[in-house]
Amino acid sequence: MTTMISLRDVSKRFGASGEYAVKDLSLDVPEGEIAVLVGPSGCGKTTTMRMINRLIEPTSGTIAVDGRDVLQQDPVELRRGIGYVIQSTGLMPHRTVAQNIATVPRLLEWSAQRTAERVEELLALFDLDPGVKDRYPAELSGGQQQRVGVARALAADPPVMLMDEPFVAVDPIVRSRLQDEFLEIQRRLRKTIVFVTHDIDEAIKMADRIAILNRGGTLEQYAAPEEILRAPANDFVKRFVGAERGLKRLALIRVAQIEIEGGPVVSSSASADEAEQEMARHGLDWTSVVDGGVLQGWVDRSMLDGTGTVGRTRPRPFSAYVTVQDSLRQALDSIVTSLTNVAVVVDADGRYLGILTLDRLSHEIAAP
């Protein structure tokens, strides 16, 4: 995988005291990935980000974007090639939504038609009603403003984006939706992104890699979220990641990634005796019922009073089941809320795959 953004021994000292804001930082961001810089205030995460587009000049070290040293480039040209989103959106209050989105195309002197087409494209991509095009930012909801801010950064289709707490100014529900929407868009666009946040949960959700920075701008750990949760490099990282490390890790692992147990299962054409035997074999008093591989529900001993096939007894549907695309955290929720204390796993077409138990999940988190 090629490196898109590369920081080598970058330091930044401020003021007469020469205090380090960032110290000897080396960091590579692979093309198409989201690297999240996270840490307490004063850890230099925003300073680091701003050095990439030269809003702040490093005291020493080198920074390269797409293999080119940023310090050798004209800052204005450099910035026009890098998408930039800030916390408070920084939308132009005196420009309409369409004009705001067209900011960088206009600076790059795109034709009016090309710009207009691009604006339409981005409005659609960000699920913004075409009616908002001619409105001013003050007339939009917080969530819409944030979307316009991100759309504006993407207008000239830059390969690299810098995002400084882009979703922090909205309430948690809207924030979560904006995060999901952005990840969905990113799956298609594969931009190389440096994303700054102070919120470890946002970092875990958004990142391909997380850089945890400490006060004075030293890098404590740079790794995939799952690795940071599983193997924090030191006490600082452990403390910063906080409680519920196990739960947070469960959210990052898909059901498809772990081994699933068989679990009791019979065909709807099976006899009551066969169903009894299947339950006994697993030491349980219930069994899943499938029809042509597709999950129908479950039956227990009390329902098997009569004779005839299991299908006749009208299997009861599971109140919750998980698919292979769900996270282990969702599986855990399914386990603790089900009467049977297992999570039944199906594939995308509803075909029965097996079950997950609490034992299986705790084994997964406890694994080194």
Partner 1 sequence: MLASVGPPSIWQWISDNSPRILRLTAEHVELALIAVVVGLAISVPLSVAAYRRARLYPPVTWAAGILYTIPSIALFVVMIPVTGLTALTVEIGLVGYTLLILIRNTVAGLRGVPEELKEAATGMGYTRRQLLWRVELPVAIPAIVAGIRVATVSTIGLVAVGFIVGKGGLGELIIDGLDRFYTPEVVVGGVLSIALALVADGALLLAGRAVTPWARPGRVSPGRAVEASA
User: Which residues are near partner 1 by CB under 8 A?
Assistant: 50, 53, 55, 76-81, 84, 86-95, 103-104, 107, 127-132, 134-141, 143-144, 152-153, 162
Q: Which residues pair with 107 in a beta bridge?
A: none
Burial 321-354 (b: 16+ CB within 10 A, else e): bbbeebbbbbbbbbbeebebebbbbbeeeeebbb
Nearer to partner 1, 24 or 121 (CB): 121
Q: What is the DSSP letter of 176?
A: H
Nearer to partner 1, 144 or 296 (CB): 144
Least distance in angstroms from the C-beta of 211 to partner 1: 20
Least distance in angstroms from the C-beta of 26 to partner 1: 24
Nearer to partner 1, 15 or 131 (CB): 131
Report the distance separating Cα 218 and Cα 202, nearest Å. 21
Nearer to partner 1, 193 or 356 (CB): 193
Least distance in angstroms from the C-beta of 88 to partner 1: 5
Least distance in angstroms from the C-beta of 86 to partner 1: 5
Q: Are 150 and 183 in contact (CB under 8 A)?
A: no
Nearer to partner 1, 171 or 305 (CB): 171
Q: Are 26 and 3 in contact (CB under 8 A)?
A: no
Nearer to partner 1, 84 or 240 (CB): 84
Least distance in angstroms from the C-beta of 53 to partner 1: 6
Residue that the structure tokens 């900011």 belong to? 103
DSSP secondary structure, 83-97, as one string: EEE-TT----TTS-H
Least distance in angstroms from the C-beta of 223 to partner 1: 28
The 3-state DSSP composition of the chain as helix, strand, coil percent (nearest 5) reads 40, 25, 35
